Amino acid sequence: MPEVPDRPPSALRAVWQARRDLLPLFPRAAYRHEVMTFRALRRRLLVVNEPETVREVFVLRHDVYGRKSRFMERALAPVIGDSLFINHGPAWAARRAAIAPLFHPSRLGDFHGLFVQAAAELADSLARTGGAVPVDMAAALARATARVVMLAVFGPGVPEEATAELAAAFTDYQDAVESLDLAYLAGLPGWLSGGQGRRARGAATRIRALIERLVAAARPGDGGLLATIRESLAGAKASDTAGAAAPYTASAKAPYTAGAAALGAAGEAAVLVNEIGMLLLAGSETAANALGWTLLLLARDPAALRGCREEMAAVLGEGAPGAEALTALVLTRAAMQEAMRLYPPVAILSRQAARADRIRRWEIAPGDTVMAIPWLLHRHEALWERPHHFLPERFLPEAAKRHRRFAYIPFGLGPRVCAGAAFGMAEMTVLLAVLLRRFDFAVAPGHVPMPRLRLTLRPAGGLPMLATPR
């Protein structure tokens, strides 16, 4: 955990710091307060940090706070356009109804073989190092989880080189993206917002070009979800153009669409690329980050690691993890859940108010930003005993019943909760079960992993580890 300051920085220093990492902005008191306000230039940002208030904003008042914040739209739109993750209103509802059923828990069996394949490929590549040289596990896990989603979407014929290209481009984008909207913070109209810098634009262009190539190369019978996604989006097209507000636009060159039907074939292609980009980003980044932090925490806790391995031996034996056995890995899943409490993959949820509102004693103006910050909520001193310690037993079944509802939100909450949460948990369970049974992991000598919060919560400088075959 990074050093926690005693007091928040000045407004100008906070803006400068936020361009690199958001975590140092949170003072010690932020881990105790229930509602906080931060001043950034001419804007006030409200943070709700108490479970019932989080529920009020993100669940009960979805009609007011259903739209992502300007910060999030600006940061993600160059890659995923006005996809499900960013869109709002009728278009969002139509696309959610089209996409979410593809990853429903009842369909996990369709993907289990992909989880096992990606885990085996990753383990085989680690075995070739013999534990002699450090491996950046953040990058390796990003490739593995991206591989799962690419196989799911495009079928078994998708080249491994495309996976590596995509994961590298996502990393470049994360490192370069400018999430702050200085025009918004200065109180200026949205059309004055600048676009992203050259490096971020280049990475976004590479990501979208790769997806376009894979879509163009796809053929009937490839075996992935691409055709189903295309059909589902076509079915949602009428609602997609039925009256959602135009998405935030930072640049005329950005890949936004107001609706596929309004733009013809080119618009339909852009919508498809947007949604596939969203699936690849959401489905690989969050799972990879959660797994990386889990490996790190278990490597530092021999007792918890031993407990997970004993459970795996009892439940799985020597074979590959079967789909029906995953729910029996109770301690293993608890370790992952505790890792996501301490290091939530998406550590900030931000919304903009559609109209005037009131949250407790604070008046909210239209367009104001309201946030929940899982990094703070998950470490809140009034909600968690020893909040900064790794204690997997918190999430064993009986103990988990005592948690306050909405105190733990690693996959979001409300109508915009992650549609692929069950997919991600199953994928991570398989990968972790394979890796822990085949390797001992240790942080590379001289490296001190530290989290950095930008779009997601990643280890700054990667996660170099030694993976020694057992």
As annotated, the binding site for heme includes 418
Taking the CA atoms of 41, 44, 49 and 51 in sequence, report the sign of the dihedral they define.
negative
Identify the band that residue 353 occupies on the pLDDT scale cut at 50, 70 and 90.
Answer: very high
What are the tens digits of pLDDT across the range 253-310?
Answer: 444 344 444 445 556 788 999 999 999 999 898 999 999 999 999 999 999 999 999 9
Compute the residue count for the chain: 470
Separation of alpha carbons 241 and 259, rounded Å: 5
Domain segments of the chain: what residues?
11-469
Give the pLDDT score at 11: 64
pLDDT of residue 345: 87
Q: How high is the pLDDT of residue 260?
A: 42
Residue-level pLDDT at 177 = 81
- Cβ neighbours for 289, distance < 8 A, ≥ 6 positions apart: 138, 141, 343, 345, 456, 457, 458
SS3 359: strand
Sign of CA dihedral 23, 27, 30, 36: negative
Known binding positions: 418
- Percent of the chain scored above 90 by pLDDT? 69
For residue 306, the model assigns a pLDDT of 98
Question: What is the predicted pLDDT for the residue at 356?
Answer: 97
CA distance 79 to 82: 9
| Gap between the Cα atoms of 204 and 15, Å rounded | 24
CA 109 to CA 351: how far, in whole Å?
34
Q: 167 pLDDT exceeds 90?
A: yes
The three-class DSSP label of residue 254 is coil
Please write the tens of the pLDDT for every residue from 323-340.
999 999 999 999 999 999
Contact 108, 423 (CB under 8 A): yes
**What mean pLDDT is predicted for residues 183-196?**
65
- Domain 11-469 class, CATH top level: mainly alpha
421-438 vs 302-316: helix crossing angle, rounded to 10:
100
